Amino acid sequence: MEWKKAKVNDSHLVDVPERWLHLYYYEALNVLFRFENSLRVFVYTVLKDKLKDKWQETAVTGGCIKSETKKRIKQSEEYGYLGHDITCPMLFLNSGELIEIIVSDAYWKYFAKYFKASKSIVITKLQEIGTVRNSLAHFRPLKEGDVELIKQNTKHVLLGVEKALIQITSINTLVPTNSEEPWYLKLKSLGSENIYISLFHCEDEDWVRVNFSYKIPTLEKRKSSEESYSYKVGNLRTVEVLRNFSEIKNNCIYLSDSYVSGRLNAEYDIASRKEFNVVFSKQTLNSNLNDIEESIRNVITRVDEETELLKMDNLARGVLIESKHGSARIQTGYNSNRFWSVNLDSLKLDPEKLSDVEYWGYVGNFETDFVSATDQYPWMPSSISGIEVPF
């Protein structure tokens, strides 16, 4: 029994052994993987927006999301050495259950506006996709035409869904400073010396992104040589915002991180910022404005207090702020140009240790093509595609 491997050739293309399955099987897998996971993100977003912290009580066959996925998560832990450590309940719902939620009499009222067809047509197209999905999942042979069917049905069914997902993941318009929106007037003045807040909304203004930008403090600096420094810096533990401020967690759709770019100032101290974003629907924000504003104020106060604590004692640790290591060294680049390279990798979260469904990790902007182009979905600790190995 000889299992031949695919190889990347000198042209960075993949050579597939002839004994492998026909290519359209892999195309079907790609379409179905993206379809199901896009549907997961969509279903969660709508349920969380409408039901807030009660979203896990949504009914599925056999019980509710919370009870059914809890059993499945427990079962997966028995084989924890296989695959990634996944604890998000949404990843333990299958496409049949996602479809069941969408078209149920109890919840269709929440989802109907996102579909450009009647409920009966939506059900038919989703069931057709599900039939092909089950054939592939149970290793029954597919016809090449089956792949074209799921591609066409996905395009038809997810047309409005993709638009909604793009809206919520691409909130890039700064709110005008003369806006009279109640939520904007309430939040626009929030911030401090340590943490700066910016406010964004999407194109149709239904979704709001609150951007928190933390000024990373240099707690300790050691000069190792003329070409290198080591540091202790303050790090904002973003996921702890969800775990310690329930009004933010219960009302937001998701919290995401931004990558930290290492920089030095003229004194060779760290001059970087750590940013995270919290996304709300405008309706939720206005309906719960006082509670959300108070929670954001409390986050800022806690950040200020704990930052000052660590500046006095870098061995201390707060709920939101902790001490981490960093480094900087001279590197030689193009045309022998020398520059300072700053390493702040210790500030990254380990996504496999996170269980909060509202934490989405690093979210990219998908202004045209979320369903078929995203390389990392929320709740997944690793990417699912990349340009380095085209297929």
pLDDT tier for residue 388 given thresholds of 50, 70 and 90:
very low
What is the dihedral angle through the alpha carbons of 131, 137, 138, 143, rounded to the nearest 10 degrees? 60
pLDDT tier for residue 78 given thresholds of 50, 70 and 90:
confident
Stretch 285-310: mean pLDDT, rounded? 97
Taking the CA atoms of 197, 241, 194 and 291 in sequence, report the sign of the dihedral they define. Answer: positive
Q: Say what the pLDDT of residue 390 is.
A: 39
CA geometry: angle at 307 spanning 304 and 309, to 5°?
110
Distance between CA atoms of 174 and 203, rounded to whole angstroms?
10
- 3-state secondary structure at position 370: helix
Q: Give tens-digit pLDDT for 167-181.
A: 999 999 999 999 999
Closest to 176 (Cα-Cα) out of 196, 201, 197, 195:
201
Stretch 78-104: mean pLDDT, rounded? 89
Q: Say what the pLDDT of residue 111 is.
A: 97
Percent residues over pLDDT 90 in the chain:
76
Stretch 14-29: mean pLDDT, rounded? 91
State the amino acid at position 335 in one-letter form.
N
Exposed, middle or buried: residue 311 (CB in 10 Å: 0-12, 13-18, 19+)? middle
Cross-strand bridge partners of residue 220 = 232
Closest to 132 (Cα-Cα) out of 152, 146, 121:
146
Least confident of 121-135, 320-334, 339-353, 373-387: 373-387
Domain boundaries, the chain: 7-169, 174-364
pLDDT tier for residue 2 given thresholds of 50, 70 and 90:
confident
Stretch 209-223: mean pLDDT, rounded? 96
For the chain, helix, strand, coil in percent to 5 are 45, 20, 35
State the amino acid at position 70 in one-letter form.
K
Stretch 35-53: mean pLDDT, rounded? 96
Place of tokens 């695919």: 6
Q: Say what the pLDDT of residue 391 is.
A: 37
Residue 272 has pLDDT above 90, yes or no: yes
Residue 91 has pLDDT above 60, yes or no: yes
Stretch 311-332: mean pLDDT, rounded? 94
Mean pLDDT across the chain: 92
Q: Say what the pLDDT of residue 305 is.
A: 97
Residue 335 has pLDDT above 90, yes or no: no
Task: Between 84 and 194, name the one with better pLDDT.
Answer: 194
DSSP string, 70-126: HHHHHHHHTTTTSS-----GGGG--HHHHHHHHHSTTTHHHHGGG-SS-HHHHHHHH
Q: Say what the pLDDT of residue 366 is.
A: 64
CA geometry: angle at 29 spanning 390 and 253, to 5°?
95
Distance between CA atoms of 246 and 360, rounded to whole angstroms?
17
Stretch 119-132: mean pLDDT, rounded? 95
Q: Say what the pLDDT of residue 389 is.
A: 40
